Chains A and B, each alone.
Chain A
């Protein structure tokens, strides 16, 4: 082992204990792959509404809507949202039914950093659709100490 590799190795060892558990773009990709398997994910039909610039990462409004007739024969079964830089890649997974009439859900989420958010919808025919949004977060969630 030459000096350069040795130093690189020790740098990793030193950094690791201080690195908080965090999702990465790779962890998000892995979480998405676990969900969709080998299926195609097309960037169509899904709309992910979030403010592009977020002042407070503790409560970020988010709306996901999917173009679908929501009939018994053709509806959105599930909507999943993932992130790249929170401690975990999953945000939520919602299960829908034809009884919803409209494939649109809203919630508020926490974001620990500026990052890309991905929404994936699964329709009743087993196909997957997606949309993503890049957001900038000025004040991150999770960092401040509880009082």
Chain B
């Protein structure tokens, strides 16, 4: 299981714009680099990141090999009502990782 770090406020005032930061451990092998034996290492990257608040998708990102190892993404969200922020990463070789954060809106 991948190591994931998410930084988001647990509580927020209704209507506030909150920042969400997410970091996931992943090598993001580009597919352009030779390995120790001189052969190009096969590509292994996270291709897609999505953020859903309850059932509504609020943000997504298509990644390329140009995203650094251990991809970091920060974005904003309007705290409209209490819910669960669901972050999901998918990538090469069937890679899937998920993290959920409950955010209470007062």
Contacts and interface: CB of A to CB of B under 8 A. Distances in A.
B69 A59 contact: yes
Interface in B1-24: 17, 21
Contact of B75 (A20, A90, A104): A104
> For this complex, into which size category does the number of interface residues on chain A fall?
35 or more
Contacts of A105: 59, 61, 73-75
Interface in A64-105: 83, 86-88, 90-102, 104-105
Interface residues of B, number: 34
Nearest to B29: A146
Interface in B26-68: 29-30, 32-36, 41, 53, 56-68
A147 interface: yes
B25 interface: no
A36 interface: no
Given A21-B32, A95-B60, A100 B76 contact: yes
Contacts of B17: 101-102
B78 interface: yes
Contacts of A92: 61-64, 66-67
Contacts of A108: 67-68, 71-72
A94 B35 CA distance: 31
Contacts of A86: 65-66
A60 interface: yes
A142 B32 contact: yes
Nearest to B64: A90
A99 B75 CA distance: 11
Interface of B: 17, 21, 29-30, 32-36, 41, 53, 56-69, 71-78, 80
8 contacts: A86-B66, A93-B61, A97-B58, A102-B76, A106-B74, A106-B75, A109-B66, A109-B68
Given A59-B69, A94-B75, 4 more contacts: A91-B64, A91-B67, A106-B75, A145-B36
